[in-house]
Structure 1
Amino acid sequence: MEEQYLPASEVHVCMADGEAAGFVAMAGDYLAALFVDPSRQGHGYGAMLLDRVKSDRNTVTLHVFARNERAAAFYRKQNFEPQHEQIDEATGEREIVMVWRRA
């Protein structure tokens, strides 16, 4: 992540009480990373970060591990639709490819 995605990514940080609450990293239209501090999850920061990157794109694609049901449910709630499943080459884990498209 640190060496492959972040150096070439568009990064947005969400601040709360003077601290970083989370960040999103985009590689073109691919969501390379979305992280929210665990103590701040469930307070809308993830949705706010997604809204920011969706505001200037027509599509956003992401991969989420199938076993991460909480994250997959969050992305569905944010109007991402599952496209297909595949195996992540680096981990051997099953992942879901999801896409959001501007209506």
Structure 2
Amino acid sequence: MIREFKTKDLDDVMKIWLDTNTNAHDFIQKNYWQDNYDEVRRMMPEAEIFIYENNQTIQGFIGLMDDYIAGIFIDSGCQSQGIGKALLDHAKKVHSNLSLQVYKNNEGAVRFYVREGFSLVKEQKDENTGEIELVMAWVK
């Protein structure tokens, strides 16, 4: 089931956020994510967040700022089960165009977004990590 974020979800969402980022981005120092944890936690309620829940357990979420996808995060035990696609499909129903940034070295995520109809807009360097990121866009 996909539903809107509630304040009581914050602890579970942040655990998934931290775990997913450290696992998916092993090319970035783990402390980068830990150092940004408090700021992201503070910003979460300002975003449009959709939760994927099964049996009252949060298995993933998508965070949006207007038409920008800040990220799709899936619990490590629930990945490759269609949850990310379901969340993205939900965002596509609510928005007529979407954009995002994804690290080039996160090859699985890049393949996912290409498969879901996103096109490369440009490559740029993330000044915070030094990593190359791809700016991608989707239009209905």
Check whether TM > 0.5: yes
Give 1:1-103 correspondences, 5 Å limit. Answer: 1-4=40-43, 6-102=44-140
Equivalent residues, number:
101
**Whole-angstrom distance in 1 between the partners of 2:56 and 2:127:** 38
**Whole-angstrom distance in 1 between the partners of 2:113 and 2:75:** 17
TM-score, normalised with respect to structure 2 = 0.69
TM-score, normalised with respect to structure 1 = 0.92
**Structure number having the greater strand percentage:** 1
- Which amino acid letter does the alignment assign opposite residue 2 of structure 1? R
**Structure number having the greater helix percentage:** 2
**Residue-by-residue CA offset, 1:29-84 (whole Å, 9 max, x unaligned):** 00012100111111100000001111021110000000000010011111111111
1:7, CA displacement in angstroms? Answer: 3.0
Identity %: 35
- Which amino acid letter does the alignment assign opposite residue 48 of structure 1? A
Gaps of 5+ in 1: none
**C-alpha root-mean-square deviation of aligned residues, in Å?**
1.1
- Which amino acid letter does the alignment assign opposite residue 53 of structure 2? M
Write out the 4+ residue segments of structure 1 that deviate beyond 4 Å after TM superposition. none
The structure that has the greater radius of gyration is 2
**Whole-angstrom distance in 2 between the partners of 1:73 and 1:88:** 20
